Amino acid sequence: MYFKPLEKLFSSQICCLTLLAGAFFGCAGVPSSQKPVVVIRAQMQMGTLVKITAVGRSESAAQAAAAAGFAEIRRLEELLSTWIPTSELSRVNAAAGGMPVPVSFDTLTVVRRAMEAAEMTGGGFNIAIGPAVDAWRVTEAQRIPMASELEALRPLVDLQSVHVDARGRTIYLEKAGMRIDVGGIGKGYAADQAAMAMQKAGAIAGVVALSGDIKTFGRLPGGKLFPFGIQHPRQEGAVLAWIDLQDEAISTAGDYERFFERDGVRYHHILDPLTLQPARACQSVTVIAKEGVWADGLDTGIFVMGPERGMELVEQLPDVEAIIVGHDGRVFVSSGLKARVRFPSNSDAKGHDQ
Ligand code: ADP
Ligand code: MG
């Protein structure tokens, strides 16, 4: 997993704008004399800044819910991070070409969802991409691997050789040198699970944001939903579009956060499993789904597919919507979102909207 400690410290692909405690007063189900309390906390986890907003019936309930959310993310990081040598995923990778490794329900679920996302995106999403991700190490070394080096890795980026035994709860990588990397889906799963842990701990509403992978539950008083601004992929700090969410997740995959340029070419961290080169069809893909695991898994896969095929897929999936910015800056909005997104008044995005 691409969870490098302290990476992307204060960057965020999507800004959560629901941080005003007063905005939550009068939440449904809470007597007006008992104003809900909002707690906002942030911590570095999974190599990124995690921001949790917890709404509780009391200060202690909100604090407990936020703590439960962070504890859940920490627990999942210890299972899924490939930066932790003892994690389950690290042990699966270390045993590649050897034997099946017993894993927890969570690791099994993330990998199974990843296999489903691969199927849905026609192989655009591929967690066997690990060796190629390591070869690029885009932000650290800024190196461009030689074609022969990538060619040698190609047989390892092979989903057919990832064997998931759901009954026996094991994962087996058939070829020595294979490595699975859930960096393109794990944060979305973690956001879902943290939101669930917060609800169990008594939160009545909240937001879990692992940088650009965000899950919301509950809503603002008076029917108001959680508002989010989607980052413009080519104008730093500018919002491409606004969207309100209710009990939904939102996730963005973009080529603008972790990249370097050489001879006018942008090299970034989302790789096309066919070429093992940075995917070229999009600048950014934002997916909205009920669950973060789908929003995150699909944004990376659709980025590889490109706007046309990607939007075709989105239109077929119930409860999945997307805003895709193509390589040329054209903005594509799925039919279910057209009435929901708002573009800033100075934006040229509306003109390109398809
Ligand atoms: P982030 O929110 O960290 O930018 P993304 O959802 O955009 O994450 O996924 C990017 C990460 O997914 C990469 O850092 C890498 O670990 C992994 N990855 C890169 N290309 C692919 C791919 N084609 N399929 C699956 N995972 C990928
Ligand atoms: Mg993703």
> From the CB of 273, is ligand 1 less than 6 Å away?
yes
Which atom of ligand 1 is closest in space to residue 187's alpha carbon? 2
Which atom of ligand 1 is closest in space to residue 130's alpha carbon? 16
Task: Answer whether 321's CB lies under 8 Å from 246's CB.
Answer: no
Q: Name the nearest CA neighbour of 272 among 117, 125, 115.
A: 125
Q: How far is the CA of 22 from the centre of ligand 1 (A)?
A: 37
Q: How far is the CA of 18 from the centre of ligand 2 (A)?
A: 23
- Band (pLDDT 50/70/90 cuts) for residue 77 is very high
> From the CB of 253, is ligand 1 less than 6 Å away?
yes
Using CA atoms, how far apart are residues 190 and 249, in angstroms rounded to an integer? 12
Q: Name the nearest CA neighbour of 76 among 167, 159, 205, 182.
A: 182
Write phi, then psi, for 174 (nearest 5 degrees): -70, -35
Cβ neighbourhood burial of 141 (10 Å; 0-12, 13-18, 19+): exposed
> From the CB of 128, is ligand 1 less than 6 Å away?
no
Cβ within 8 Å of residue 343, ≥6 positions away? 240, 241, 242, 349, 350
User: Looking at the CA of 212, which ligand is closest?
Assistant: 1
Supply the mean pLDDT for the chain: 88
Q: How far is CA 179 from the centre of its chain?
A: 20
pLDDT in tens, 184-199: 999 999 999 999 999 9
Most confident stretch, 13-27, 76-90, 137-151: 76-90
pLDDT at 11 over 80: no
Q: What is the mean pLDDT of residues 306-335?
A: 98
Q: How far is the CA of 186 from the centre of ligand 1 (A)?
A: 10
- Band (pLDDT 50/70/90 cuts) for residue 261 is confident
Using CA atoms, how far apart are residues 155 and 303, in angstroms rounded to an integer? 23
- Band (pLDDT 50/70/90 cuts) for residue 142 is confident
- 148: tokens are 């022969």
> From the CB of 125, is ligand 1 less than 6 Å away?
yes
Taking a 5 Å cut-off on Cβ, the residues next to ion ligand 2 are 184, 253, 296, 299-300
Which residue is closest in CA terms to ligand 1's atom 26?
A: 184
pLDDT at 40 over 50: yes
**E strands in 160-224:** 162-165, 170-173, 205-210, 213-217
Q: How far is the CA of 287 from the centre of ligand 2 (A)?
A: 9
pLDDT at position 273: 97
> From the CB of 271, is ligand 1 less than 6 Å away?
yes
User: Looking at the CA of 121, which ligand is closest?
Assistant: 1
> From the CB of 133, is ligand 1 less than 6 Å away?
yes
pLDDT at position 28: 40
**DSSP string across 77-98:** HHHH-TTSTTSHHHHHHHTTTT
pLDDT at position 260: 86
pLDDT at 73 over 60: yes
Other CB atoms within 10 Å distance of the CB of residue 41: 15
pLDDT at 62 over 80: yes
Q: How far is the CA of 183 from the centre of ligand 1 (A)?
A: 5
Which atom of ligand 1 is closest in space to residue 299's alpha carbon? 6
Pocket probe mutation, ligand 1, options 154, 208, 270, 305, max atoms within 8 Å of Cβ: 270
Q: How many helices and strands in the chain, by DSSP H and E?
A: 10, 16
Using CA atoms, how far apart are residues 31 and 25, in angstroms rounded to an integer? 10
Question: Count of residues for the chain?
Answer: 354
- Band (pLDDT 50/70/90 cuts) for residue 222 is low
Pocket probe mutation, ligand 1, options 110, 294, 300, 302, max atoms within 8 Å of Cβ: 300
Place of tokens 């500018």: 238
Which atom of ligand 1 is closest in space to residue 114's alpha carbon? 25
Q: What is the mean pLDDT of residues 255-262?
A: 86
Q: How far is the CA of 247 from the centre of ligand 1 (A)?
A: 24
Crossing angle for the helix pair 186-200 and 59-80, to the nearest 10 degrees? 150
